[in-house]
Structure 1
Amino acid sequence: MKQADKMTGGCACGKVRYEAEVENDDAYLCHCRMCQRATGSISIAFKNVPQSKVNWLSGPDWYDSSPIARRSFCASCGTSLGFQFKEGPNMDLTVASFDKPGRFRPTSHFGAESMHRQWINTTGLKEMKTEEHQPLVNKWIAATGKMPD
């Protein structure tokens, strides 16, 4: 068995930080209506990990999103950080909250009854890099002197 890698993550403002021991690159997309409503998105990418392998360095806020589950988030910036059933050994961390989310690969879809398939394969749509949109670049340079990481 491969040794777990310690990975870090957190919210947009930096108030909430975590470390998680991650054993593989598998992740999944959840399309259920609960996740859609909780995130304001058509789906959310999750990495499932044992709760015992997550160390909250500066703790999140929690929202009891249903009688059976709760969601971690940052009350200061609104970042969605995860999902966990109130009973069970595992939890999900949002892939995008990891400092290096590019490692993960989707292996499945969950909540397919609410999937918006027109948003799944966007191959062929026009693509623009952030730095190619000069009005936005100008705003960042004027406000901070540089583009964000």
Structure 2
Amino acid sequence: MTIHHGGCLCGAVRFQCSGEPINVRICHCRNCQRATGAPFFARALFAHEALTISGDTARYPSSDALDRMFCPRCGVRLFSWRNTRPVVGVALACFDDPNIFAPTEHIWVSKKLGWIKLNDGLPQFPENPA
């Protein structure tokens, strides 16, 4: 089984994901925009049990369904931990090889910032796909 490694900016938090992601998406929802301070959140979705974390993380419950996990030392947001399903979104840019997974679709494009032009040919969903 393939193991993918990554970590935060300061190195205090390291992680590994085993296997392949369930999906790889770019989320344009307002919660992701605010949580990252960026126009979108690009992430690979894994089962909880596929993720191993070393180092201390902090959590912020951004909704009943989702906790945002980050490094308390450097502040890098690493994971979006689902409380309603046993899955976790891992920030693509935090993998040691940030090109290891390519997104396959855009979600929540109804909240996309107006100046973002999506011309990559990927499927686009106004909210979450069914």
Shared fold by TM > 0.5?
yes
Residue correspondence of structure 1 range 110-129 to structure 2 within 5 A: 110-116=107-113, 118-121=115-118
Q: Give the match for residue 106 of structure 1.
A: 103
- Pick closer, same or farther for the CA change 1:121–1:69 going to 2, 3 Å: closer
- Pick closer, same or farther for the CA change 1:116–1:72 going to 2, 3 Å: same
Is 1:77 equivalent to 2:74 in the alignment?
yes
Q: Structure 2 residue aligned with 1:87, among 84, 87, 90?
A: 84
Query: Identity over the aligned pairs, expressed in percent?
Result: 31
Q: SS where residue 92 of structure 1 aligns?
A: strand
Q: Give the match for residue 44 of structure 2.
A: 47
Structure with more helix by fraction: 1
Name which of structure 1's ranges 80-89 and 46-55 shifts more when overlaid on structure 2: 80-89
Is contact 2:21-2:45 (8 Å) kept?
no
Residue correspondence of structure 1 range 1-12 to structure 2 within 5 A: 4-12=1-9
AA of the residue aligned to 1:40: G
Is 1:66 equivalent to 2:67 in the alignment?
no
Q: Structure 2 residue aligned with 1:34, among 11, 18, 31?
A: 31
- The C-alpha deviation readout for 1:55-102, integer Å capped at 9, x for no partner, is 112232111111221011011111010102212111100000111111
Structural RMSD (CA) = 2.0
Alpha-carbon distance in structure 2 between the residues aligned to 1:6 and 1:56: 13
- Pick closer, same or farther for the CA change 1:66–1:24 going to 2, 3 Å: closer
Name which of structure 1's ranges 68-77 and 24-33 shifts more when overlaid on structure 2: 24-33
Greater gyration radius: 1
Structure 2 unaligned regions, length at least 5: 121-130
Q: Structure 2 residue aligned with 1:97, among 91, 94, 98?
A: 94
Is contact 1:28-1:47 (8 Å) kept?
yes
Alpha-carbon distance in structure 1 between the residues aligned to 2:2 and 2:117: 29
After the TM superposition, list the runs of 4 or more consecutive aligned residues in structure 1 that deviate by more than 2 angstroms: 116-123
Q: How many residue pairs end up in the alignment?
A: 120
